[in-house]
């Protein structure tokens, strides 16, 4: 029963139950396979769920080794190909690639257009079987994750959630953060990552899921052939202490640097009750899921006591215990504000906000450890002739294979993330580069981001790069367009004045943009750059130095 519950939960993530054929099989090596036809579009997704997460780390408990390994395995070097080769193939496929780690699983997925299914399946299978934990990649991702720890562990809300876990699960391994504690994380070596990979990445510890436009039987056979030589392994037992249900109620109150109080009410449920998880979540949806749900409506709409309230139940075959959680944010401050807002019509003339072309640096000190950096510029409005050119510039900079990510992550270990953001309206537009880092990397990160804007102004973008950006966008667009999403895009583009058929015309429009157009627009709008830095004040105790 528990295994069926986990598989059902995974399928809810990746499939639409629209009557097409669903097939399941366990291979002789122990790998569980689920394939599901979905003919709404021509994209195909592959997902591999490795049943190892932060609770399964044994001697590394609390160090975040599962999450660290996720970074190394995802598109990393294998015995077959280098990281760069996988990167080039991902660009060729226009693939959507990502991964995540939770308490219970490490998951990897790739979505591609139908013609690239064989390449995508092959690449993902190689990463699951043949990762070599390249020393350079291990060292680079070590620094990346240190910045992610800053991003995910130091904000007040993150600390509240982590403290809640420590209080709710004093005996369970769930009390440890998935990303790990900084000092323990720093001790992990390359050899330990490889050993952990060899020990836990076994076919009998995986569920492989495929969904998309294919014949289920043919895909099942193809996956079986791909993994037939993946040898079953002896999985050493991992101690998973059980957090038993408590009798009576306990109340914990702690202070954090937040103005709105956060409250979590958690009940531990035993594995014997996991068969009720689906019914419990149905009940939670009835009580909390919709605006008119009785508890939500009463607390949010009628009494105005909370900003939001939610509830859910969790538990699967990889858990030693389950939970029922009800959470909400109290509204005493928000209610006070609302009471002083006049409930009358405001008489005012319509005006437009215009982005100023500042060329200066602004530093804001605050109580958080992470350093947030924005480089802001003026940009064309949606009605401007340069609108499409700026969109193409954004595409060249965007994504894991774009210029900006490569500059701050591929060529330099400077940030956890970086992305361009072009926003536009009828009368104004703004363009910015956004990133986050730790205090020691701040100046270098600003310099590299400035350099990416400067290169667009002074260096001619290669035709091949322009063509590649357009083709990659087309491939990615095909993977997300289907009968459900198409009406949204048609309506959106019509509403903003570009026309209902813009989605069909836009690639041809991009192809009319020249190298000279890109350089001209970059010089026109990136001449003045406002650099906005939010950084920790001197009294902030740093986790990462």
pLDDT digits (tens, 9 = 90+) for 398-416: 987 889 998 998 778 888 8
Packing angle, helices 83-93 and 117-129, rounded to 10: 150
Instruction: State the Cα–Cα distance between residues 148 and 437, nearest whole angstrom.
Output: 8
Model confidence over 489-539: pLDDT tens digits? 888 888 888 888 888 888 899 999 999 999 999 999 999 999 999 999 988
Q: 472 pLDDT band (50/70/90 cuts)?
A: confident
- Selection from 517, 474, 194, 243 nearest residue 385 by Cα: 517
- The answer to whether residue 5 scores a pLDDT higher than 50 is no
Which whole number is the average pLDDT over 177-199?
Answer: 96
Name the token pair of 160. 């509240």
Instruction: Please state the length of the chain.
Output: 545
**Structure token pair of residue 465:** 């790069």
Instruction: Kindly list the domain boundaries of the chain, sorted by start residue.
Output: 2-227, 262-339, 361-536
pTM: 0.80
Helix (H, G, I), strand (E, B) or coil at 46: strand
Q: What is the DSSP letter of 540?
A: P
Q: Is the pLDDT of residue 172 over 80?
A: yes
Work out whether strand 530-536 and strand 371-379 pair parallel, antiparallel, or are unpaired.
antiparallel
State residue 2's pLDDT score: 38
User: Which of the listed ranges 2-16, 337-351, 446-460 does the model predict with the highest average pLDDT?
Assistant: 446-460
**Calpha distance 89→95 (Å, rounded):** 9
| pLDDT score of 334 | 53
Residue 254: pLDDT band (50, 70, 90) is: confident
Instruction: Look at residue 163 and tell me whether its pLDDT is greater than 50.
Output: yes
Instruction: Kindly report the backbone phi and psi dihedral angles of residue 30, in degrees, each rounded to the nearest multiple of 5, phi listed first.
Output: 95, -5
Q: Are strands 32-37 and 530-536 parallel, antiparallel or unpaired?
A: unpaired
Cα–Cα dist 175/168, whole Å = 8
Asked if 239 and 60 touch (Cβ cutoff 8 Å), the reply is no
In degrees and rounded to multiples of 5, residue 307 shows phi and psi of: -80, -35
DSSP H helices, 307-440, are: 332-339, 387-397, 403-405
Angle subtended at Cα 86 by Cα 80 and Cα 92, rounded to the nearest 5 degrees:
130
Helix or strand or coil: residue 325? strand
Ramachandran class of 75: left when φ > 0, alpha when ψ lies in -120 to 50, beta otherwise = left
Other Cβ atoms less than 10 A from the Cβ of 362: the count is 12
The torsion angles phi and psi of 140, rounded to 5 degrees, stand at -65, -50
CATH topology of domain 361-536: Cytochrome Bc1 Complex; Chain A, domain 1 (3.30.830)
Residue 189, both tokens = 């070596």
- pLDDT of residue 15 exceeding 60, the answer is no
- Where does the pLDDT of residue 448 fall: very low under 50, low under 70, confident under 90, or very high at 90 and above? very high
Residue found under tokens 């009390």: 175
Distances (CA, A) of 427 to 223, 351, 401: 52, 10, 32
> Residues 375, 533: contact at Cβ < 8 Å?
no
Which range among 71-80, 142-151, 264-273 shows the weakest confidence by mean pLDDT? Answer: 142-151
User: In which band, very low, low, confident or very high, does the pLDDT at 340 lie, cut at 50, 70 and 90?
Assistant: low
For the chain, give the mean pLDDT.
Answer: 88
Task: Report long-range pairs for 156-159 (Cβ below 8 Å, ≥24 apart).
Answer: 156/256, 156/257, 156/258, 157/258, 157/262, 159/256
CB contact set of 250 (below 8 Å; sequence gap of 6+): none
Is residue 285 pLDDT above 60, yes or no?
A: yes
User: Topology of 2-227 in CATH?
Assistant: Cytochrome Bc1 Complex; Chain A, domain 1 (3.30.830)
262-339 matches 361-536 in fold: yes
First-to-last alpha carbon distance for the chain, in angstroms, is: 48
The pLDDT value recorded for residue 331 is 80
User: Taking Cα atoms as reference points, which of 130, 90, 76, 153 lies closest to residue 402?
Assistant: 90
Report the CATH fold assignment for 262-339: Cytochrome Bc1 Complex; Chain A, domain 1 (3.30.830)
Of 21 and 8, more confident: 21
Q: Which residues contact 115 (CB under 8 A, 6 or more apart)?
A: none
């Amino acid at each position: 029963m528990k295994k069926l519950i986990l598989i059902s939960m995974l399928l809810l993530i990746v499939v639409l139950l629209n009557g097409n054929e669903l097939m399941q099989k366990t291979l002789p090596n122990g790998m569980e396979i689920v394939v599901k036809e979905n003919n709404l579009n021509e994209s195909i997704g592959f997902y591999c769920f490795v049943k190892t997460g932060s609770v399964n780390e044994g001697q590394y408990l609390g160090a975040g080794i599962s999450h660290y390994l996720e970074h190394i395995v995802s598109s990393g070097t294998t015995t077959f190909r280098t990281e760069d080769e996988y990167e080039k193939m991902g660009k060729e496929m226009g693939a959507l690639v990502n991964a995540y780690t939770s308490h219970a699983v490490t998951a990897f997925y790739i979505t591609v257009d139908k013609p690239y299914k064989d390449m995508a399946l092959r690449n993902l299978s190689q990463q699951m079987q043949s990762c070599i934990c390249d020393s350079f990649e291990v060292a680079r991702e070590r620094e990346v994750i240190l910045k992610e720890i800053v991003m995910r562990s130091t904000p007040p809300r993150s600390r509240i959630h982590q403290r809640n876990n420590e209080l709710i699960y004093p005996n369970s391994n769930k009390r440890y953060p998935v990303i790990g504690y900084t000092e323990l994380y720093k001790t992990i070596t390359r050899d330990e990552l490889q050993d952990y990979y060899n020990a836990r990445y076994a076919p009998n510890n995986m569920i492989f899921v495929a969904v998309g436009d294919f014949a289920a039987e043919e895909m099942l056979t193809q996956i079986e052939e791909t993994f037939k030589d993946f040898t079953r392994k002896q999985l050493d037992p991992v101690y998973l202490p059980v957090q038993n249900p408590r009798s009576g109620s306990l109340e914990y109150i702690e202070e954090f640097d937040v103005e709105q109080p956060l409250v979590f009410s958690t009940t531990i449920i035993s594995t014997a009750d996991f068969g009720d998880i689906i019914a419990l979540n149905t009940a939670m949806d009835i009580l909390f899921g919709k605006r008119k749900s009785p508890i939500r409506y009463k607390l949010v709409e009628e009494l105005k006591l909370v900003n939001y309230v939610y509830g859910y139940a969790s538990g699967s075959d990889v858990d030693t215990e389950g939970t029922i959680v009800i959470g909400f944010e109290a509204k005493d401050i928000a209610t006070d504000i609302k009471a002083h807002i006049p409930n009358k019509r405001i008489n005012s003339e319509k005006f437009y906000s215009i982005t100023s072309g500042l060329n200066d640096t602004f530093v804001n000190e605050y109580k958080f450890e992470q350093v947030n950096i924005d480089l802001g510029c003026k940009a064309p409005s949606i009605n401007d002739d340069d609108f499409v050119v700026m969109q193409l510039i954004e595409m060249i900079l965007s994504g894991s294979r774009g210029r900006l990510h490569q500059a701050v992550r591929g060529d330099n270990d400077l940030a956890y993330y970086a992305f361009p953001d072009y926003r536009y309206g009828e009368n104004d537009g703004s363009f910015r580069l956004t990133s986050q880092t730790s205090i020691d990397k701040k100046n270098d990160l600003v310099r590299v981001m400035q350099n990416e804007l400067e290169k667009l102004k002074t260096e001619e973008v290669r035709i091949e790069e322009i063509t590649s950006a357009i083709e990659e966008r087309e491939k990615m667009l095909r993977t997300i367009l289907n009968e459900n999403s198409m009406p949204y895009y048609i309506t959106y583009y019509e509403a903003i004045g570009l026309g209902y058929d813009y989605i069909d015309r836009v690639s041809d429009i991009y192809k009319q943009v020249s190298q000279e157009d890109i350089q001209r627009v970059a010089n026109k709008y990136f001449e003045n750059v406002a650099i906005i830095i939010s950084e920790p004040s001197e009294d902030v105790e740093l986790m990462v130095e």
